[in-house]
Each structure stands twice: as C-alpha cells, then as structure tokens.
Chain A
Amino acid sequence: MKIKITFWRVVFAVIMVLGLYSTYVRYLHGLGAVSNMTDQFPWGLWIGFDCLCGVMLAAGGFCMVGAVYLFNVESLHGVVKPAVLTAFLGYLLFIVGLLFDLGRPWFIWHQLIYRNPHSVMFEVGFCVMTYTTVLFFEFLPNVFERFNLQGGIKWIKRIYPVLIVLGILLSTLHQSSLGSLYLIMPSKLHPFWYTPALPFFFFGSAVAVGLAMTIFESTQSAKALGRELELSVLVRLGGALLVALWVNALLRVEDFYHRGVLGQIFKPSYEAYFLWLELLLAFVIPITMLSFKKVRLSPGGLYLAAVISLLGFVTNRLNISLIGFEEYVGHHYVPKWTEFMVTLMIIAIGFALFRLAVQYLPIFPEHGHGEPKPGIQHDAPVFGKAAVLSHAND
C-alpha cells in the first residue's frame, strides 16, 4: 500500500506528532507543565476554544434538524446529514478536549452520581452527555444504510420525533447555559462582555453559527467529494444567516445601550480592540457582504461571508473566556505551544474523521457510499479544511 505524500498530509502528521508529545506532557507531568494556566487564570485555551467554540461550532446539527424535521423545510434535506455528522463529531471531540482540561478526568463519571442541581456546569455536563447520545442515534441511520439494515432504519424512524424534540431541547439548554457559566462572575468579567443576557446571546449566536457552519461544511465536503452543491440550498442558508446576524447584532447593540456601555465601546482600549475585531468579523463584514444580492447568490461569496462570521463568533467566545478576564487579573494569558498543539490535534482528528465518514458512509445520499471519483482527490481537500479552521486560533 502506498500513501501519497501531499502538503496537507504532512501538516496533519506534524500536528499529530506534536499533539501526541503534548498529550504525553499533559498526562505524565500535569496541567502546570503543559499549559500556561495559573491560579489567576484557571481556565485557558482549552475551555475557551475546545469547549466554548467546539460546542458552538457543532450547533449546525440542531439548527438543520430543527429546520428540516421540525419546520419541515424540505429543500434543506440534503444538508442535514453532514450537519448531524459535524455535530456528532464535534461533541465527541468536545469530550476529548474535556479529558485534557479536567484535572482529574478519571473521575468525570462523578457527574452522574454526585449531582449538584444548582451548578450550571452540572447542567451543561448533563445536557452534553444526553445530547451526544441523541446525536449518536441521529447519526446511526447512516451506519444502518451502509450495511443495509432495514430493521434498524425503521426503528430509528419510529423514535425520530422524540430524538428531534429532545435534541433541540437539550441544545437550547446547554448552548445558552455555556453563557450562564459566566453569570456568577460580575466582578471579574469585563463589562463589555458581562451581561445578564449572556445565556440569550450564547443561544442566539449558536443559531447563527449553526447556519454559517452548515454553509462552510457542506461547501467544503462538496469540494472534497468533487460534487456541485445545489445553489438554492446555499442561498437559502445565506438568507437565514443574514437574518440571524441582524437579530444578534441588534440585540447586542440594545444590550450595550441598556447597560450604558455604548459610549465606552468606541474609546480605544485593549478590550475595545478585541471587541471591535469581534463585532467587525461577526456582524459588520458578513452583514455588509450578504446585503449585496450578488454575494448572496454566489457560492464563493456565501462561503466567505460564513467563514468570516464564524471567525467573529470564535473571537466572541475567546473574548468572553480569556480577554475579558485580563484586566481583572492584571496580566495577559498566552497559551503555551503545547496547549495549541492539543487543540490543533483535536481539530485535525475531527477533520480526518469527517473525511473518512463522508467517504465510507452515505452522508450524501445522491452520491452513494462508493469511492469518490478518481482524479478529484488529488490535492488540498483532505485536510485543507484543517488549515481554514486552524486560523481561528490566531
């Protein structure tokens, strides 16, 4: 067997080697050796990116399931499966990320027996566990189809309404609760980001990200498989994304105004720069782009607008979890290179698994689960996506 060496495969291999070294440091020398986390900064990149952004970027699953199965939007049917796959992988990798971040990951099961119902963290943990199970069942038909197990498909179809309602309920709860995590720190989190409305913003942005992520991931996988994506699907998602961005943006402005920080956000400061970056990427640029019909009708334009807004919402989560605490702590937190490597490794594994699933399971029904057309696989696609997402860390 010969494995062709391509640029992205080399990048993947390098990330894996350095990531495995970081894993070794994490489990044999402890959190202090592998990260720049301290008593002043007990939560770092792994909570900020792997957990907050990971769950947010997996929101496409419940958004598309909601659109297609709850609201019966038939035209989006083709993107549900890849969205559910992305979500399923996203949550699995979130749990992997958690195993790195928890100081005593071997006791993670304590969540099941020592429950503290007052804790937001408990609620998030419980919802994520249950929702990952729901996603597993939503993903299962792909496997049944692959091996032609009609009984299984029928069985899943029967419980599907329950899965759909349960999945959206759990997503609403934990997407918003990730924001509630920060409600107890009014004296620590910078006023640009601390607001009693945090749970609403986390849920609202998850919906926008769900739409943007679906545009991103269906475009990418279509490219990787060498097939054309139906433009009408993308246009529809783009239109919905524009509305979601407007709603999010207006609510944010209203919140700034309501809390009396609207004047402050225009004064240059360390926090203001990061807020501007966030607002520019999440709202100003993509909304401006999508307001042009020409952009809204072109696959490239939609893709670019979606990616920019994704970067904006990633900045938002990092601002809330990292930048927003620096003024209080009094110094900066810069993740150690080993922290970055663990995060990159998890992302790379995610893309590799996605690629494998798309290749061997009937994720795109019209294409079947056969081998991809020869001559299409040649360069970037395999891990090309890893590069796009890895920039999110910068």
Chain B
Amino acid sequence: MSKALLYDATLCIGCKQCEQGCAEENKLPYDDKIAAQAFQSEKKFTCVLTKDDKFMRRLCMHCEKPACASVCPVGALHKTKEGPVAYDVWKCIGCRYCMVACPFNQPKYEWGALNPRVRKCIMCPNRLAAGKATACAEICPTGATKFGEREELLQEAKDRIKQNPSNYVGHIYGEHEVGGTSVLILSKLEPEAFGYPLSAKIGERAMPEYTEVVMEKIPDFIPVWTLVLGGIYWISHRRDEVAEVEAKEKQNGGKQ
C-alpha cells in the first residue's frame, strides 16, 4: 500500500496555508512576496492557483512510474514503496534530465547556486516515517488536501463524485494519467485550465515505457551487433588472414 494525497478543489478556499506549511517543513523562505507568486520555483514546492472563484493546487504528482526516476543516470530520484518520489542530493550530478522529462514540469532548479539542487515536493518523508500526514494535509483547514492510502483515497474520490455529480468534472485527474499518480485531483473546473497538461496529451501510458521499448533491446543488440561487425571484419580480412596463416605454417614447418 502506498501513501497518496487527495486534493478536492471544490473544498479549497485558497488560504494558502498549505504553501506556508510546506515552506516550514522544507525550511524554505516564505513571505508575502513568495505567497503572491502564482508559480512554483526552487523556493516554492506547492502553489495555490486562482481562477475567478475556483482554486487549484500544483505540486509534484508522485507518479506511480515516474519519468524523472527512470531518466536519472545516477538514480538520484526514485519511487519509494511508501509512495513519495524521493531525491538523493548526494548522487545528483545536475544533468537536469528529470526536469526535461517530467510531464508535469515539477522538478525546479537552483539556478543561482554554485552547487545547485533539484527541488520539488518530496511528500514530507520525515513526517511519513513518524506516521504523520504531510504538512500540507495536516494544516489544511477545510480538508481539501487529504492524506491517506491511495486505494482508499481513490475510492473516496469516486464516492464524492457519485454523491455529488454536478459538483465535479467526473474525472479523477491522476487516477490513470501517465499510468497513475499518488496525487489525485477532484475539481469542478478541469485541472488543465490551471496549466496542468491535458489528460489526452500525456496519455495513460507510463512515461518510462517510451524509452523501455528501446532500452530493453540493448542487451540483445550488443551480442548480435558485435557478431555482425566481427563477422564483417573476419570476411573482409579473410585474404590477409589466410596469407598470414600460410606464412606461419611455412615457418612452423621449417622449425619441425
């Protein structure tokens, strides 16, 4: 069983306490200026967006099969069995492939630092280890962000839609997107209206599969291609080899 977050935008009042709780937990600066920023950055892992009277949260989706973890050459990012996609700063070499590969554009970079880190929501690993909810879920005054087991939250989301179908778009964003994510979103307005990628565009296929198709062929390709190349070499140098062998035989014959 893995942990997840359910964000119900219809319950959100846009108080931004999740932003503040997140900043405190991750020791990030938080003031009026940062609160007013309607975008994420290396100093702001989560962000509450406003459109008319509707709200939407953005944060790392903690994909079930994350693109970032699959592309990282040194395995600095990995999906833990508890649910979060964790980041090991020591391993990171700063290639930024995770940023390019993430379909949700979640990893941010410390562009101004001399030993820069990739920054993103890591789902409060210390709190999870202590059996607590994430900082954003705990601080949320309306229960818009709820922490729990993914299966249970998914069921709850489905129940909420069933009980109040006119209140929701009828689609749980994150249930199937890119093979499923550990952040599930319920809303009246499509998350796409707030800059989330279109469900149809990112699809339901897990991102790592796009490269796996090629990568899984490499172990077979290496011996086959080596044999082919070696074969070509052998054939095209046959004449030289024959001459060499003949010369050697002659020499050996002379010695015996």
Chain A positions within 8 Å of B, measured between CB atoms, are 27-33, 37-40, 42-43, 69-72, 101-105, 107-108, 110-111, 114-123, 125, 161, 164-165, 168-169, 172-173, 177, 180-181, 183-188, 196, 199
B 26-38 binary contact with A (CB < 8 Å = 1; else 0): 0000000000000
Which 9 A/B pairs are nearest by Cβ-Cβ distance? A103-B94, A32-B111, A122-B73, A42-B99, A72-B236, A114-B74, A121-B73, A104-B94, A116-B75
- The 27 sampled A-B contact pairs (Cβ below 8 Å) are A29-B114, A39-B41, A39-B99, A43-B96, A102-B93, A103-B92, A104-B92, A104-B116, A110-B92, A114-B76, A115-B75, A116-B73, A120-B214, A121-B71, A121-B72, A121-B73, A121-B95, A122-B73, A161-B230, A165-B233, A168-B229, A169-B226, A181-B97, A183-B214, A184-B208, A187-B103, A196-B213
Q: Are A111 and B73 in contact (CB under 8 A)?
A: yes
* Chain B, residue nearest A200 (CB): B214
Q: In angstroms, how far is the closest chain B Cβ from the Cβ of A156?
A: 16
Asked if B100 lies at the interface with its beta carbon under 8 angstroms from chain A, I say yes
Q: Are B111 and A30 in contact (CB under 8 A)?
A: yes
Q: Are A103 and B215 in contact (CB under 8 A)?
A: no
Q: Which of A38, A108, A110 has the most CB of B within 10 A?
A: A110
User: In the complex the two chains form, what is the Cα distance from A183 to B217 in whole Å?
Assistant: 15
Contact of B70 among A165, A172, A184, A186 (CB under 8 A): A184
Contact of A103 among B67, B93, B213 (CB under 8 A): B93
Q: In angstroms, how far is the closest chain B Cβ from the Cβ of A196?
A: 8
User: In the complex the two chains form, what is the Cα distance from A101 to B95 in whole Å?
Assistant: 7
Main secondary structure of the interface of A (DSSP, over half): helix
Q: Are B211 and A184 in contact (CB under 8 A)?
A: yes
Asked if B169 lies at the interface with its beta carbon under 8 angstroms from chain A, I say no
What residues of chain A lie closer than 8 Å to B222, measured between beta carbons? Answer: 169, 173
Q: In angstroms, how far is the closest chain B Cβ from the Cβ of A292?
A: 32
* Chain A, residue nearest B222 (CB): A169
* Chain B, residue nearest A117 (CB): B215
User: In the complex the two chains form, what is the Cα distance from A123 to B215 in whole Å?
Assistant: 9
What residues of chain A lie closer than 8 Å to B108, measured between beta carbons? Answer: 39
Q: Are B73 and A125 in contact (CB under 8 A)?
A: yes
